[in-house]
Amino acid sequence: MQRTISFLALAALLVGSTTAADAQGRRDRGLVELAPESIRGGFYIGGGLGAGRESYKFADETGYSEPLTKPTFTLRLGGTPDPYVRLGGELFAWANDDFDRTEYFSTLMGVVQFYPIKDGGLWLKGGAGMAFSGQSFDDPQFFDVNETGFGWTVGAGYEAQLSRKVGIGPSVEFYQGSFTKRNEPTLTERVLNIGVQVTFQTGGRRR
């Protein structure tokens, strides 16, 4: 009888030790799964306002026109496949409203935004896509003029995290478009833009 009681006590001790170890293992795994996220993640959408310094030239000219600084607007959206990278699309627009006509330059591009430091706010950007240039007239006697060509962009900026969902910061970006018509010199138009960007995201954490 005493041997039976001793055997049962030893078995209970072994089972208790195994259960405690399993529970500790589950707790350990839980700690790993709940490790802190990067400050960037999920879907993002952002908008920006700025001042764009525009100039242009034709292929048969030696220099660019006198720069003209006007307001700009930027809209971005996409995803964050990695804490270091954001991929998405971008719409950029510059416009000059001059009495009875409006001059404009805009781009629609795919862009890659790279963050060299995982939890840092500095970013570098590059992209390519379509560019649009033209003039729209209020007077019906004049025909609107517009062209479509190839565009590209590079830029840099800083994003300060206000909360898990919202970031804001300055940016400096360069946009250029090339427009070719048959039997006419190629038009190159460019804009140096300085602005402020606000970004909303669905993932990430506060710094």
| Tens-digit pLDDT profile for residues 156-182 | 999 999 999 999 999 999 999 999 987
Q: Is 112 contained in some domain?
A: yes
User: What pLDDT score was predicted for residue 178?
Assistant: 96
| Contact between 173 and 154 (Cβ < 8 Å) | yes
Q: Is 206 contained in some domain?
A: no
Does position 9 have pLDDT exceeding 90, yes or no?
no
User: What average pLDDT does the chain have?
Assistant: 84
Can you give 48-115 as a three-state secondary structure string?
Answer: EEEEEEEEEEECCCCCCCCCEEEEEEEEEEEEEEECCEEEEEEEEEEEEEECCEEEEEEEEEEEEEEC
User: What amino acid is encoded at 191 in this protein?
Assistant: V
User: Do 27 and 95 belong to one domain?
Assistant: no
Please state, in angstroms and rounded to a whole number, the distance separating the CA atoms of residues 151 and 93.
12
Written as six digits, the tokens of 71 are: 């307001």
Q: Is 68 contained in some domain?
A: yes
User: What pLDDT score was predicted for residue 67?
Assistant: 96
Model pTM above 0.85:
no
Does position 105 have pLDDT exceeding 60, yes or no?
yes
Q: Return the beta strands (E) in 138-207 as ranges.
A: 145-158, 160-161, 166-179, 187-201
Please state, in angstroms and rounded to a whole number, the distance separating the CA atoms of residues 89 and 109.
6
User: What pLDDT score was predicted for residue 100?
Assistant: 82
User: Which residues, including other chains, have CB under 8 Å from residue 191's CB and lie 6 or more apart?
Assistant: 52, 53, 54, 72, 92, 94, 105, 174, 175, 176
User: Do 183 and 166 belong to one domain?
Assistant: yes
Neighbours of 47 (CB within 10 A): 15
User: Do 53 and 149 belong to one domain?
Assistant: yes
Q: Which domain holds residue 173?
A: 42-201
DSSP state of 39: S
User: Do 114 and 161 belong to one domain?
Assistant: yes
- pLDDT per residue over 37-82, tens digit each? 678 999 999 999 999 999 999 998 889 999 999 999 999 999 999 9
User: What pLDDT score was predicted for residue 37?
Assistant: 64
| Contact between 194 and 183 (Cβ < 8 Å) | no
User: What pLDDT score was predicted for residue 200?
Assistant: 96
What is the average pLDDT across 140-156?
87
User: Do 13 and 63 belong to one domain?
Assistant: no
Q: Is 182 contained in some domain?
A: yes
Q: Is 207 contained in some domain?
A: no
**How many domains does the chain contain in total?**
2
Does position 20 have pLDDT exceeding 70, yes or no?
no
User: Do 23 and 117 belong to one domain?
Assistant: no
User: Do 28 and 47 belong to one domain?
Assistant: no
User: Do 144 and 174 belong to one domain?
Assistant: yes
For the chain, what is the largest distance between any 2 Cα atoms, rounded to a whole number of angstroms?
Answer: 114
